[in-house]
């Protein structure tokens, strides 16, 4: 795992009427990733965007597109999102399809692989994936909507995930209710990639807020 703390602003909380401008603003900041939540209204109770939107945003920045696919089925959509410009693709343990087959598709297209678990899913299910993944995404809220409050019981899950991966080069990403008050707690628990939506996009100065999340 890279011990550098990476910040991944979640565009779920951006102003979609000026989404290109929002991406430009992030491009001029020092965030490492841009987090893109894809929801299907089935796997989670909300609908967001498809690969065409991702493709339209790709021209605004060279920053890493960290794409979280909260969809099921997911396999048939992997290549469209890869072709749209995704750099990291995270799928869920809880999907109905063969997770390892999805990993193979992502890896064969030279993209990084992430696996995510919902708050109710125990950490031990991750053990079988450790040799295949680049990133683990711990959801610290129930996935589906932005602006939720962090579930404090997930902090222990982050610690257990850190223990589980040992010295493997796997990033621990956390998403949900992350703000400048709780970021350090999550980092201390073992997270090194912080996804934050409302905290960044509701602030007047994205760069200042990103630095505060990083505890600079």
As a whole number, mean pLDDT of residues 109-137 equals: 97
pLDDT class of 142 with cuts at 50, 70, 90: confident
CA-CA distance, 77 to 70, in Å (whole number)?
Answer: 11
Which pLDDT value is given to residue 149? 82
Which pLDDT value is given to residue 145? 64
Catalytic residue among 40, 134, 171, 175: 175
Instruction: Kindly report the average pLDDT of the chain as a whole number.
Output: 94
Which pLDDT value is given to residue 152? 87
Beta bridge partners, 139, equal 175
Identify whether 171 is a catalytic site residue. no
Quote the DSSP letter at residue 28: T
CA-CA distance, 110 to 113, in Å (whole number)?
Answer: 9
pLDDT class of 180 with cuts at 50, 70, 90: very high
Residue with tokens 């598709």: 105
Threshold 0.85, pTM exceeds: yes
Identify whether 52 is a catalytic site residue. no
Q: Is the per-residue pLDDT at 11 higher than 70? A: yes
Q: Is the per-residue pLDDT at 9 higher than 70? A: yes
Domains of the chain: residue spans and CATH: 6-213 (3.20.20.70)
Strand spans (E) along the chain: 6-9, 33-39, 64-70, 88-92, 112-117, 135-139, 171-175, 193-196
């Amino acid at each position: 795992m890279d011990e550098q703390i990476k910040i991944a602003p979640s565009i779920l909380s951006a102003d979609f009427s000026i989404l290109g401008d929002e991406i430009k603003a992030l491009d001029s900041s020092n965030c490492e990733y841009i987090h893109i939540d894809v929801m299907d209204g089935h796997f989670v109770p909300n609908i967001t965007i498809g690969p065409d939107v991702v493709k339209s945003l790709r021209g605004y920045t060279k920053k890493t597109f960290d794409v979280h696919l909260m969809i099921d089925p997911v396999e048939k959509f992997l290549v469209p999102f890869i072709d749209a410009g995704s750099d990291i693709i995270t799928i869920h343990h809880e999907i109905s399809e063969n997770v390892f087959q999805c990993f193979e598709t992502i890896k064969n297209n030279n993209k990084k692989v992430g696996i995510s678990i919902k708050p109710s899913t125990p950490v031990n299910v991750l053990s079988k994936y450790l040799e295949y993944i680049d990133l683990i995404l711990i959801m610290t809220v129930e996935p589906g909507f932005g602006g939720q409050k962090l579930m404090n019981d997930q902090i222990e899950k982050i610690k257990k995930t850190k223990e589980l991966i040992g010295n493997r080069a796997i990033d621990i990403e956390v998403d949900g209710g992350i703000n400048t008050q709780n970021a350090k707690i999550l980092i201390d628990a073992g997270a090194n990639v912080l996804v934050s939506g409302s905290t960044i996009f509701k602030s007047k100065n994205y760069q200042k807020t990103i630095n505060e999340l990083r505890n600079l």
